[in-house]
């Protein structure tokens, strides 16, 4: 019953936490973690972690929930990504800001569009931060560039967008909040298992039985149990499908 954490910010953990987490992956039946990046410094840190630990795969990008990079910062990031593109399994985390309430999305849309152009050129999948009303904008950009290999992590959105994403073949990933968030539980019931992965988004902390507990890929086992129950599918079949989905999507 092997698992893969399809989205984690490993570089945001403390050094001793990283050592403990990586050291316990085998015990947790976790084969790989996909560590996404926040900015250039984060990309470099993830590259080093992947070099040190064979269980770590990396995505390089720029998280949208922060101030836009300067022209110089963006040029440095893109140049570094191009030089290291063979070391990344995807471009990410990229997308549009929602939680920080940026009123003017124009610059973020232009930034995302540029990353999608690179994804097309480099033939890399993309890891997306796009929820609620931002998601249709991102779908439009993906369609514009004819990008199919898109992973909307911890997705939340309306039914019309969900149907559009399913039709386009985009993937989503489910976090441990599937145990207690009705919105996520309904999403699991609607979205095809064939287009689904599982993640922690660690070190983000969860509620319920995970309250005050360091987020760890082992929590995914609880998520899979919930997914199997919601979709009324044998748990072992859910394990296998989610595992194979992730390996296939990220080519790992």
Burial class (CB in 10 A: 0-12, 13-18, 19+), 163: exposed
Cα separation, 59 vs 10, in Å, equals 11
Return the CATH number of the domain spanning residue range 3-250: 3.20.20.140
28-57 per-position pLDDT tens digit? 999 999 999 999 999 999 999 999 999 999
* DSSP codes of every residue in 191-242: S-GGGEEE---TTS---GGGTTSPP-GGGHHHHHHHHHHHHT--HHHHHHHH
pLDDT one-digit tens code per residue, 142-194: 999 999 999 999 999 999 999 999 999 999 999 999 999 999 999 999 999 99
Q: Is the pLDDT of residue 103 over 80?
A: no
- Say how far residue 190 (Cα) sits from the centre of its chain: 20
The answer to whether the pTM exceeds 0.85 is: yes
Measured between its terminal Cα atoms, the distance across the chain in Å is 17
Question: Among candidates 29, 109, 117, which has minimal Cα distance to 78?
Answer: 117
Q: What is the DSSP letter of 176?
A: G
Predicted confidence (pLDDT) per residue in 85-97, tens digit: 999 999 999 999 9
Domain ranges of the chain: 3-250
Above pLDDT 90, what percent of the chain?
98
pLDDT range class, residue 104, cuts 50, 70, 90: confident
**Distance between CA atoms of 130 and 132, rounded to whole angstroms?**
7
Q: How confident is the model at residue 133 (pLDDT cuts 50, 70, 90)?
A: very high
- Can you say how many angstroms the Cα of residue 134 is from the centroid of all Cα atoms in its chain? 16
**Residue 78: predicted pLDDT:** 98
């Amino acid at each position: 019953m092997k698992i893969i954490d399809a989205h984690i910010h490993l570089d945001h953990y403390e050094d001793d936490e990283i050592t403990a987490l990586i050291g316990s992956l085998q015990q947790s039946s976790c084969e790989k973690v996909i560590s996404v990046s926040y900015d250039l410094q984060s990309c470099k840190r993830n590259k080093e972690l992947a070099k040190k630990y064979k269980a770590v795969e990396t995505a390089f990008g720029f998280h949208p929930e922060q101030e836009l990079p300067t022209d110089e910062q963006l040029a440095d990031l893109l140049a570094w990504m191009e030089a290291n593109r063979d070391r990344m399994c995807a471009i990410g985390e990229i997308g549009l800001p929602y939680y920080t309430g940026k009123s003017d999305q124009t610059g973020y849309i232009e930034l995302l569009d540029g990353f999608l152009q690179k994804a097309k050129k480099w033939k890399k999948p993309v890891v997306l931060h796009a929820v609620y009303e931002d998601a249709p904008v991102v779908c439009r950009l993906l369609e514009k560039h004819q990008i199919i290999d898109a992973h909307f992590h911890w997705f939340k959105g309306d039914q019309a967008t969900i149907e559009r994403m399913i039709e386009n073949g985009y993937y989503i990933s489910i976090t441990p909040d599937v145990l207690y968030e009705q919105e996520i539980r309904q999403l699991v019931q609607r979205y095809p298992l064939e287009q689904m992965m599982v993640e922690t988004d660690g070190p983000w902390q969860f509620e319920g039985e995970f309250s005050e507990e360091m987020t760890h890929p082992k929590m995914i086992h609880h998520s899979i149990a919930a997914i199997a129950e919601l979709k009324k599918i044998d748990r072992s079949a859910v394990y296998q499908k989610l595992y194979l989905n992730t390996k296939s999507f990220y080519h790992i």
